[in-house]
C-alpha cells in the first residue's frame, strides 16, 4: 500500500502483466507429488510456487491437545528462505506466517468432517518455494487439494482468491506489484457449494460498493479455480503415475 | 531402538546375508536419480534432486555481509538444512535438530574443503563481502538425504547466477554472469549391517543398519567424510568404500548440469 515510486497499475484497462480486471493469473495444480505425506499438492499460481502436504488423521500428540469429540487441525504456513526476490529470509516462523497459519487452519476447521475422527490430529503443511503475491490464497487452494488427496472427508472443496483496488478499480488476483502499490487487498476463501466465506482479510480502504464488487469478482474467479482443483484430483486417478515426484515448470 | 526397527534389522540382515536388497538392487547400486536444475527464479540458484523416493530442493540467495574478522578478504558461505514436516511423518516443526544440523554440516564440509566456490571472488570492498546462503529443503524422505542434498546443492551452485552489484548494493533481478564453480563435489553414503556394506541406504535400511559412512569426493580426492550410527567400520571398509566413491562419483557427476 505504499505510494513511493508507484507505477501506473492500469493502462488502457490493462494491468501491468497485460491482464484485464477479471483475469486470474495462470494456475496449474498437480496432486500427489510427495511419497511420505498422506496427501499432497503442488500449485503454480502466476510466479508463486507452493507445495502442500497433509498428514492424518493420526493420534493427536501431545495428548492434552486431544479432543474427545473431533479431530484437531494443525497448520503450518512457511516461506522458504529463498522464496523471495529480496534478501535471504530469516529462519523460523515470522509473525506474518503464524497469523496466516492460524487463519488457514480456521478455514479448514469448517469444512473437514472433524467429528468423524475424535482424539486425532490432521496436519496441513504449506511451503512457499517462490512467492509473488497471493501466497495465502494459493496455499488454501493447494491445501484443499492435498486434503482431498489424503482422502480426508470434507463438506466442500474450498479455495481462495484475493481482490484488490488498483488505480481506483476493483480487480481480481493481485500480483506482487499490485499488492505493493494498490490501494487495497482483500483475500477471501469461499465454500463454493454453500457460498459461505471461510477466510476473510482486508487491508487498505474500500467503500461498500467496492466490497460488493470485490465479492462478485472473487466468487466468479473462485468457480474457475474450483474446476482446476477438481481436474487435478481426477488426474491422479485417470492418469495414474507409478512414481510420485515434484516437477516444477521454469 | 524400537521393536519395529528390530524387525527391520532382522529382515535386512537376512536379505543381506543372501546378497539381496528389498528393492532388488545390487549392493553398490543407487536407486533412480533425477535432477532438475534451476526450477526457481527468485532464488539466484536452485535445484531439485531425487534419489528413489527422497526429494530435496536446494535454494541459493546472495546478500551483502561483513566478512569474518580473521578472513577480511573472503566472502561468507552459510549452509543450513530444513527437514520439512511435510517430508516425513518422522519430522516435526521447530528449530533445527541434530539430524538437520549434521546434514547441513556434512554437505557444507564437502563444498568448503574442495573450494567449490571461490570465496575470495565475493570480496566487494573493505568490510563488505557477498554472502552465499545455501538452504537445503528436504521435501520427501526415503533415506540417504545426505547424497540427495549434496546433489541438489551442487546442481543449485552450478545453475546459480551472480547478482549485479552497484554502489555496494545488490541489484535484485539483475545478474553479472554465472557463479564460478571450481569443482564438482559429490557424496556417496554407505550403510553397514554386520559385515555387509551397501550403497545408498533407503529409509527402511537406515532404520535397520548399524552404521553409516559418507565420503564426499572430487574426481581424485576425498574432501569430506562422516561416520554415523553406533556401529563400526574397519580401515579396509573405508579404503574399499573410497574406491567405490571415486568410481560412483563419475556417474553422479555426469548427472549434474554444466
| Burial annotation B2-31 (CB, 10 A radius, 16+ → b, else e) | eeeeeebbeebeebbeeeebeeebebeebb
pLDDT at B31: 98
Q: Which residue in chain A is spatially nearest to B139 when comparing CA positions?
A: A34
What is the tens place of the pLDDT at every residue in B44-68?
999 999 999 999 999 999 999 999 9
Conformation bin of residue B177: beta by default, left when phi > 0, alpha when psi is -120 to 50: left
B200 interfaces chain A, CB cutoff of 8 Å: no
One DSSP character per residue, chain B reads --HHHHHHHHHHHHHHHTT--TTS--TT----EEEEE---SSSSEEEEEEETTEEEEEEEEEEEEPPPTT-TT--EEEEEEEE-GGG-TT--SSS--HHHHHHHHHHHHHHHHTT-B-GGGGEEETTEEEEEEEEEEEEE-SS-HHHHHHHHHHHHHHH-EEEEEETTEEEEEEEEEEPPB----EEEEEEEETTEEEES--HHHHHH-SEEEEEEE-SSSEEEEEEESSS---HHHHHHHHHHHHHHHHHHHHHS--
For chain A, the structural domain boundaries read 27-238
The Cα–Cα gap between A238 and B135 comes to 36
Domain total of chain B = 1
B38 interfaces chain A, CB cutoff of 8 Å: yes
Cβ contact B140–A52 (<8 Å): no
What is the tens place of the pLDDT at every residue in A108-148?
999 999 999 999 999 999 999 999 999 999 999 999 999 99
What is the tens place of the pLDDT at every residue in A4-59?
678 999 999 899 999 999 999 999 999 999 999 999 999 999 999 999 999 999 99
What is the CATH classification number for the domain harbouring B191?
3.30.230.70
Q: How far is B59 from chain A (nearest CA, A)?
A: 6
Q: Which residue in chain B is spatially nearest to A56 when comparing CA positions?
A: B89
The Cα–Cα gap between A148 and A240 comes to 16
pLDDT at A242: 85
pLDDT at A90: 86
pLDDT at A92: 81
**Collapsed DSSP state (helix, strand, coil) of residue A126:** strand
Q: Count the Cβ atoms, other than its own, within 10 Å of residue B254.
A: 8
pLDDT at A5: 76
pLDDT at B64: 97
pLDDT at B1 over 60: no
Residue among A44, A85, A99 nearest A248 (CA):
A44
pLDDT at B115: 97
pLDDT at B93 over 90: no
A134 interfaces chain B, CB cutoff of 8 Å: no
Which whole number is the average pLDDT over B112-136?
96
- Model confidence pTM above 0.90: yes
pLDDT at A2: 52
Q: Please report where in the chains the cell 573410497 appears, as a residue.
A: B242
Residue among B131, B135, B134, B133 nearest B165 (CA):
B131
B86 interfaces chain A, CB cutoff of 8 Å: yes
Whole-number average pLDDT of chain B:
96
Which whole number is the average pLDDT over A71-82?
98
The domain made up of A27-238 is a member of CATH 3.40.50.2300: no
Q: What percent of chain B has pLDDT over 90?
A: 94
The Cα–Cα gap between A179 and A15 comes to 12
Question: Could you tell me if residue B80 is inside a domain?
Answer: yes
Residue numbers of the domain that contains B220: 21-255
Cβ contact A82–B48 (<8 Å): no
Give A91 or B242, the one with higher predicted confidence. Answer: B242
**Phi, psi (deg, nearest 5) at residue A89:** -75, 155
What is the tens place of the pLDDT at every residue in A208-223?
999 999 999 999 999 9
Residue among A133, A50, A165, A9 nearest B40 (CA):
A50
Torsion sign (Cα): B167, B171, B175, B179: positive
Provide, as residue numbers in chain B, all residues whose Cβ is less than 8 Å from the Cβ of A52.
Answer: 86
Cβ contact B137–A125 (<8 Å): no
Which whole number is the average pLDDT over B82-91?
96
Q: Among A3-12, A91-100, B37-46, which stretch is predicted with the lowest mean pLDDT? A: A3-12
Which whole number is the average pLDDT over B233-258?
97
The Cα–Cα gap between A97 and A76 comes to 8
pLDDT at A39: 98
Which whole number is the average pLDDT over A192-205?
96
pLDDT at B107: 98
pLDDT at B3 over 90: no
Provide, as residue numbers in chain B, all residues whose Cβ is less than 8 Å from the Cβ of A101.
Answer: none
Cβ contact B140–A76 (<8 Å): no
Q: What percent of chain A has pLDDT over 70?
A: 98
Q: How far is B80 from chain A (nearest CA, A)?
A: 10
Residue among A110, A209, A208, A124 nearest A155 (CA):
A110
Question: Could you tell me if residue B7 is inside a domain?
Answer: no
Question: Could you tell me if residue B12 is inside a domain?
Answer: no
Q: For residue A80, give the nearest of B55, B62, B137 by CB distance.
A: B137
ipTM score: 0.94
Residues in CB range of B22: below 8 A, 6 or more apart? B11, B12, B15, B202, B204, B205
Cβ contact A130–B87 (<8 Å): no
Residue among B78, B138, B71, B125 nearest B105 (CA):
B78
DSSP 8-state code for residue A8: P
The Cα–Cα gap between B222 and B224 comes to 6
**CA angle (B158 as vertex; B157, B161 as ends), nearest 5:** 75
* Confidence band of A171 (pLDDT split at 50, 70, 90): very high
Amino acid at each position: 500500500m505504499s505510494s513511493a515510486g508507484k507505477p501506473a497499475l492500469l493502462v488502457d484497462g490493462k494491468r501491468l502483466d497485460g491482464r484485464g480486471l477479471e483475469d486470474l493469473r495462470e494456475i496449474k495444480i498437480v496432486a500427489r507429488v510427495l511419497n511420505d505425506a498422506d496427501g499432497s499438492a503442488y500449485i503454480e499460481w502466476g510466479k508463486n510456487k507452493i507445495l502442500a502436504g497433509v498428514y492424518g488423521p493420526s493420534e493427536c500428540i501431545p495428548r492434552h491437545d486431544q479432543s474427545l469429540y473431533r479431530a484437531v487441525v494443525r497448520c503450518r504456513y512457511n516461506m522458504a528462505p529463498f522464496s523471495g526476490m529480496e534478501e535471504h529470509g530469516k529462519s523460523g516462523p515470522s509473525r506474518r506466517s503464524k497469523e496466516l497459519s492460524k487463519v488457514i487452519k480456521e478455514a479448514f476447521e469448517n469444512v473437514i468432517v472433524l467429528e468423524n475422527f475424535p482424539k486425532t490430529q490432521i496436519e496441513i503443511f504449506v511451503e512457499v518455494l517462490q512467492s509473488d503475491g497471493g501466497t495465502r490464497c494459493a496455499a488454501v487452494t493447494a491445501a484443499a487439494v492435498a486434503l482431498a488427496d489424503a482422502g480426508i472427508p470434507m463438506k466442500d472443496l474450498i479455495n481462495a482468491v484475493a481482490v484488490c483496488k488498483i488505480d481506483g478499480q476493483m480487480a481480481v488476483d493481485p500480483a506482487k506489484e499490485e499488492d505493493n502499490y494498490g490501494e487495497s487487498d482483500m483475500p477471501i476463501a469461499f465454500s463454493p457449494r454453500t457460498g459461505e466465506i471461510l477466510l476473510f482479510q482486508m487491508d487498505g480502504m474500500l467503500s461498500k460498493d467496492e466490497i460488493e464488487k470485490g465479492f462478485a469478482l472473487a466468487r466468479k474467479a473462485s468457480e474457475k479455480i474450483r474446476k482446476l482443483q477438481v481436474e487435478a484430483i481426477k488426474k491422479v486417478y485417470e492418469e495414474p503415475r507409478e512414481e510420485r515426484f515434484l516437477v516444477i515448470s521454469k | 531402538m524400537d521393536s519395529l526397527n528390530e524387525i527391520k534389522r532382522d529382515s535386512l540382515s537376512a536379505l543381506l546375508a543372501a546378497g539381496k536388497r528389498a528393492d532388488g538392487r545390487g549392493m553398490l547400486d543407487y536407486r533412480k536419480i533425477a535432477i532438475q536444475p534451476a526450477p526457481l527464479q527468485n532464488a539466484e540458484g536452485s535445484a531439485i534432486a531425487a534419489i528413489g523416493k527422497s526429494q530435496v530442493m536446494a535454494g541459493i540467495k546472495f546478500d551483502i555481509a561483513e566478512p569474518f574478522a580473521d578472513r577480511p578478504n573472503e566472502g561468507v558461505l552459510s549452509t543450513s538444512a530444513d527437514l520439512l514436516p511435510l517430508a516425513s511423518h518422522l519430522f516435526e516443526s521447530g528449530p533445527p535438530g541434530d539430524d538437520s544440523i549434521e546434514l547441513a554440516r556434512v554437505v557444507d564440509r564437502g563444498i568448503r574443503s574442495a573450494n567449490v566456490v571461490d570465496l575470495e571472488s565475493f570480496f566487494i570492498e573493505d568490510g563488505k563481502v557477498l554472502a552465499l546462503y545455501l538452504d537445503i529443503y528436504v521435501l520427501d524422505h526415503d533415506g540417504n538425504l545426505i547424497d540427495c542434498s549434496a546433489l541438489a546443492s551442487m546442481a543449485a551452485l552450478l545453475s546459480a547466477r551472480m547478482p549485479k552489484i552497484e554502489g555496494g548494493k545488490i541489484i535484485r533481478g539483475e545478474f553479472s554472469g554465472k557463479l564460478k564453480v571450481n569443482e564438482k563435489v559429490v557424496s556417496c553414503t554407505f550403510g553397514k549391517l554386520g559385515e555387509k556394506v551397501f550403497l545408498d541406504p533407503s529409509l527402511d535400511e537406515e532404520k535397520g543398519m548399524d552404521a553409516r559412512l559418507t565420503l564426499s569426493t572430487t574426481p581424485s580426492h576425498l574432501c569430506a567424510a562422516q561416520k554415523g550410527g553406533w556401529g563400526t567400520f574397519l580401515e579396509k571398509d573405508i579404503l574399499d568404500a573410497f574406491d567405490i566413491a571415486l568410481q560412483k562419483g563419475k556417474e553422479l557427476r555426469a548427472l549434474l548440469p554444466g
